[in-house]
Amino acid sequence: MLILGREQSVFKLSPRNTPVASAPSGETVVFETFDCYSNRLTREDQELVSSGWDFTNPATGPLFVESAEPGDILRVAIVDIALDSQGAMRVGPGSGALGHILQEKKNKIIPIAEGKAKFNDRLSFDVSPMIGVIGTAPKDEEIPTGTPGPHGGNMDCKRIGEGSVVYLPVNVPGALLAMGDVHALMGDGEVVICGIETAARITVKIDVLKGLSLPLPMVKAGDHVMTIASAKTLDEAAVTATEMMHQFIHGALGMDLQEAGMLLSIMGDLRICQIVDPLMTVRMEFPLWILEKYGYSML
C-alpha cells in the first residue's frame, strides 16, 4: 500500500506543485497528515506566532493519479481516518464568528482515546473524524490550502468522514490530490475557526471516472448526496449549492426544471459547512433513495 508521509505537504493547491508519488486508478493510498497547526501547538501555555497562513492547513501530497485527465472526475472514497492521541484548539481576538467577543487568547489540548475526546473534567464526546482540506489542483492558479473553491480545498464539511465519497474535478493531468486538516469533532459552521484539530492517518481509495458529468465538488455520505459551494457570502454560497443540485436533479432524473425545483424545495436541506474561511461554504443535501426510485445510482 502506498503511504504518503506528512512531511510531504503543501500550503497551496497548484498546477505547479511537484507530485510526491503516483498511483493508478483503483489504488488504496494512505495520507499521513499534520494537524492544521503543522503539529506546532502542543501546550496550553504556548505562544504560537503566525503571520497569516504561513504554517496553517498543510495538505499532504500532491498525489499524481495515473490516467486522470482534464475533464475527468476523481472519486475519493474515505476508507478510514485514524486519529492522533490528542487534539488542539486555539481561539482569540479577531478569529471566527466570536472574534469580536473573545478578547483573550486561549489554547486547549484535548486528549483522544478509545473513540472519545475529553473536553474537560465533566465533558467527553464521541469523536466523529472528518477531513477539512481535500482537493485537486486548480487549472491555472494557486489557491492556499486554507481557501475552499470549485477544486475542493478547505471546505470544512463535517460529512466528509469515514464511509463518504468525495467527487473532485480533474483540472490538470494527474489531478494532484492533496488532503489534511483533520478534525476529531467539529460542528457545522466551525464558528471559532477550529474544531478539535489533530494529526491523522487517512486511508482512501481513488478512482478516475471518465465520461461522467457531475456538479463538483460533490459528496455522498450516509443516505444523502450533496453539492458543495463556496463564495464570499453565505447567501451566494447557498444559492450556488442549490443551483448545482437543481441542475443535477433535472439531468439525473429527467425532470423538467419546475418539478425539479419543487422536489428540491420539499426534500433538499441546506446546511452550513463553515463561516470562518476566506470564502463561506454551504452544502445542499438530497436523499439518495429518491435517485434510486428513478434508477439513478451514484458511482
User: What's the pLDDT tens digit per position in 214-246?
Assistant: 999 999 999 999 999 999 999 999 999 999 999
What pLDDT sits at residue 46?
A: 86
Torsional sign, CA 255, 258, 262, 264: positive
25 and 206 in contact (C-beta within 8 Å)? yes
Instruction: With a cut of 80, say whether residue 54 has pLDDT above it.
Output: no
Angle between helices 234-253 and 257-267 (to 10 degrees): 120
Cell of 89: 484548539
Cell of 259: 418539478
Half-sphere exposure of 115 (CA within 13 A, CB side): 1
Distinct helix (H) and strand (E) counts, the chain: 3, 22
- For residues 26-31, give the mean pLDDT: 98
Over pLDDT 70: what percentage of the chain? 98
Q: 51: pLDDT confidence band, cut at 50, 70 and 90?
A: very low
Please tell me which residue, 51 or 163, carries the higher pLDDT value: 163
- For residues 151-158, give the mean pLDDT: 98
Instruction: With a cut of 50, say whether residue 94 has pLDDT above it.
Output: yes
259 and 35 in contact (C-beta within 8 Å)? no
283 and 227 in contact (C-beta within 8 Å)? yes
Q: How far apart are CA 179 and CA 132, in angstroms?
A: 8
Residue with cell 473553491: 149
Q: Maximum CA pair distance of the chain? A: 59
Instruction: With a cut of 50, say whether residue 22 has pLDDT above it.
Output: yes
User: Domains of the chain by range and CATH?
Assistant: 2-85+127-209 (2.60.120.580), 218-293 (3.10.28.20)
The mean pLDDT of the chain is 96
Q: Tally Cβ neighbours within 10 Å of residue 39.
A: 17
Mean pLDDT is lowest, of 32-36, 38-42, 106-110, 117-121, for: 38-42
Bridge partners of 112? 117
What pLDDT sits at residue 53?
A: 56
Q: Report which DSSP code applies to 18.
A: P
225: closest CA among 234, 215, 237, 233? Answer: 215
